[in-house]
Amino acid sequence: MSTFESVPLEVAERIKTLGHRVRLARIRRGWSIAEVAIKAGLNRNTLGALELGKPGVAIGAYVTVLWTLGLDKTLDGVAHPDMDAHGSALEASRRPKRVRKTLKLKAEYDF
């Protein structure tokens, strides 16, 4: 069994959705697969696999194609720490309940 066959169904669906969105953005711009592949420095087959939502396409290819289409700024919110409510809650639960005052150390050369 290959790694790509074991991708969870929800993940596979999200990858396909992203691929379809990239395809739609390319079509709206009136660019062919060959044009975008050349601009992104990718093989046409790789771009075709990306648009079909195949899970074996490298994330670098996705980011490069989004950059080529002028959509790379849409990635700014992906996995952003401020949007991670679960991680923030876990971090807050590990904080100490009380904070002690820090002792001021007397300066060794206090005049």
Residue 108 CA to residue 111 CA, distance in Å, equals 9
Distance from C-alpha of 54 to C-alpha of 46, rounded to nearest angstrom = 9
* pTM recorded for the entire structure: 0.76
| Domains in the chain with CATH codes | 4-72 (1.10.260.40)
Percent share of the chain, pLDDT over 70: 88
Question: Is pLDDT of 1 > 70?
Answer: no
For the cut 90, the answer to whether the pLDDT of residue 67 exceeds it is: yes
